[in-house]
Amino acid sequence: MELSPLPLMPLLFVGHGSEINLILDNSFTRSLREIAASIPRPRAIAVISPHWCTPEIRTTSAEFPVQMYDTINFKEELHGIEYAPRGDPSLASRICELLLAAGFNARTDSSRGLDIATWGVVRYLYPEPTIPVVEISLSYKIDASEMAKAGKALAPLREEGVLLIGSGNLIHNLSEASINLDIKPYPWARETDRAISELLTHLDAAAFADFVMQKLRNTPSIPTPEHILPAVAIVGAASPGDRLRYFHESFQNASISMRSFIIEHEPRT
């Protein structure tokens, strides 16, 4: 008996925002539950995290990766949240294999756990930790243009039942962030977010990468690259016939865009 082919998985970019969302029921957290219910259930999940920067690209290869509380130790109300999915060593190796074949330096890392940019996002999508998760680092030697190519190298994972997620924020400036979660965004943040939203609809990874490199450090909207680079990789993984759709749009803390999108393949009619 022939096995049925796995469905082509979509691609996700999640604007993760403040850790306090872990205990909130708001339009953002609801949108993630809804998007997860609308797509095929993945056999595994791979998350590109802005919280892990390394010389080369690395993947978590532990069978039982440790749950890291990297940015929430100072928030008492978040203590005790447990979310510990299994890892997938074979997927970690497969990701490195794809990256190495595309000319990138990559290796597995059995000592690294899952940081909150990974487990926090996956927990929104799948509250029960029953799907294996692998985290992918950012290489601080790779710019936006190369990140788009890295995303393209990972595109075959979509045919292997793997949900590839970029975790970050399109606009992310903590130095200008308000303590008020729901305050009106700065005009410069809204303007750049709008420009990015229009650009992304074309699914042109090279143009998006050029935009990021032009704006990086030249606007308060993108003072550092790590939170937008996962989005560049996700757009890079798109294929002809794909369509991008925003499933959530909002701001938090005046300077953080929560804009999140899904890239899906449109079947021919």
The 10s digit of each residue's pLDDT in 28-86 is: 999 999 999 999 999 999 999 999 999 999 999 999 999 998 765 556 777 788 999 99
Query: Measuring CA to CA, which residue among 189, 176, 212, 177 is closest to residue 259?
Result: 189
For 164-215, how does the pLDDT look when each residue is reduced to its tens digit (9 = 90+)? 999 999 999 999 999 999 999 999 999 999 999 999 999 999 999 999 999 9
Question: How many Å apart are CA 223 and CA 256, to the nearest integer?
Answer: 12
Instruction: Write down all domains in the chain, each with its CATH number in brackets.
Output: 11-265 (3.40.830.10)
Per-residue pLDDT for 1 more than 60? no
Output the pLDDT for position 75: 67
- The backbone torsions φ and ψ at residue 23, rounded to the nearest 5 degrees and listed phi first, read -115, 15
Quote the DSSP letter at residue 183: P
CA within 13 Å, CB half, 256: 22
Question: How many Å apart are CA 179 and CA 183, to the nearest integer?
Answer: 9
